[in-house]
């Protein structure tokens, strides 16, 4: 089964994946600053951020109402909304869209929550295949150390507490994230991840990312294919009503 739909638009889609605390947002933000400094039009899209399902997700989580299937479907709805109303118009306009987590997050998390690998891949088959997908590989302990260093509480769903792996939040988080890590490792070949050693310094990792971007997308960057006008970008954002 061919995985995801090829991107036939002028713009490019770059995604970052990895367990919580692997450094995805840090790296994607640096990459987008660099692209902007080359006068390339860049837009961001974050996992689970669509206004369409926000209230339902909040209520469902609060009352612990989700089953593995409904949890997966609500995230897929969020994803479809962002893809169709925001990501695709921006790709059409010629922007570089940077996605902080993509369908592969569902391939990891939803499977660990109990849906089948085949089912979740089938669910997301409408998604556009990224031009570049980075996977930030980090040992569990390093990621946990970073997360606990940065804030005090781990949230209920983030720790997979609904799975009843342990009554202790930190222990549950450890088991849950460990299983997601195994899923990511198992899908590297299948989805074509560029693996970044996320234990390295922020600067080292950023250097590697930029080299890969130049190698893979350099021609489009050089030929000015990705210089969408700000007017096009603004129009696409306005159409998605997320300005
Ligand atoms: N290479 C690094 N070395 C040390 N600390 C880092 C490194 N990269 C990021 N950090 C720090 O680790 C923490 C988590 O980083 P970041 O928020 O980028 O991770 P993330 O993968 O986006 O996590 P989440 O999935 O929870 O959003 C932050 O406090 C960040 O400053
Ligand atoms: Mg993040």
Q: What is the per-residue pLDDT across 162-219, written as a single tens digit (0 to 9) for each?
A: 899 999 998 999 999 999 999 999 999 999 999 999 999 999 999 999 999 999 998 8
CA nearest 27: which of 99, 121, 111?
99
Average predicted confidence (pLDDT) for the chain: 91
Total-model pTM = 0.93
> Each residue of 37-75: pLDDT tens digit?
988 989 999 998 888 898 999 998 888 888 999 999 999
Backbone angles phi and psi of 128, in degrees to 5: -75, 140
Reading phi first (left if > 0) and then psi (alpha if -120 to 50, else beta), residue 26 is in alpha
Predicted confidence at residue 155, as pLDDT, reads: 84
- Cα of 23 vs centre of ligand 1, distance in Å, is 3
- Are 233 and 95 in contact by the 8 Å Cβ rule? The answer is yes
Q: How many C-beta atoms surround the C-beta of residue 151 within 10 A?
A: 8
Q: Which CATH number fits domain 12-239: 3.40.50.300, 3.40.50.720, 3.90.1150.10, 3.40.50.2000?
A: 3.40.50.300
Sign of the dihedral defined by the CA atoms of residues 47, 62, 109, 168, in that order: positive
CA-nearest residue, atom 23 of ligand 1: 21
> Is the Cβ atom of 26 under 6 angstroms away from ligand 1?
yes
User: What percentage of the chain has pLDDT greater than the value 70?
Assistant: 94
Q: What are the angstrom distances between the C-alpha of 3 and each of 7, 127, 196, 224, 230?
A: 12, 9, 22, 29, 32
Average pLDDT over residues 70-95: 95
From 16, 25, 151, 177, the mutation candidate for ligand 1 (largest count of ligand atoms within 8 A of CB) is 25
Task: Provide the pLDDT for residue 63.
Answer: 86
Element (H, E) at 196: strand 194-197
For the chain, domain boundaries: 12-239
């Amino acid at each position: 089964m061919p995985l995801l739909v090829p991107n036939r638009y002028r713009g490019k889609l770059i995604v970052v994946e990895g367990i919580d605390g692997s450094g995805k947002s840090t790296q994607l933000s640096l990459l987008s600053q660099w692209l902007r400094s080359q006068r390339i039009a860049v837009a961001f899209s974050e996992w689970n951020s669509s206004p369409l399902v926000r209230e339902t997700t909040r209520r469902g989580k609060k009352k612990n109402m989700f089953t593995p299937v409904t949890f997966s479907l609500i995230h897929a709805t969020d994803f479809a909304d962002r893809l169709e109303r925001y990501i695709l118009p921006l790709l059409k306009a010629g922007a570089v869209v940077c996605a902080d987590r993509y369908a592969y997050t569902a391939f990891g998390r939803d499977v660990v929550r109990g849906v089948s690998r085949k089912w979740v891949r089938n669910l997301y088959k409408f998604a556009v295949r990224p031009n570049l997908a980075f996977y930030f590989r980090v040992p569990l302990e390093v990621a946990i150390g970073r997360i606990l260093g940065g804030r005090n509480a781990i949230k209920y769903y983030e720790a997979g507490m609904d799975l009843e792996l342990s009554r202790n939040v930190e222990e549950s988080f450890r088991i849950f994230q460990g299983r997601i890590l195994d899923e990511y490792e198992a899908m590297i070949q299948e989805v074509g991840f560029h693996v970044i050693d996320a234990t390295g310094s922020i600067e080292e990792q950023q250097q590697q990312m930029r080299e890969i971007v130049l190698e893979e997308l350099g021609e489009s960057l050089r030929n000015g294919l990705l210089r969408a006008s700000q007017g096009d970008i603004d129009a696409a954002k306005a159409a998605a009503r997320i300005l």
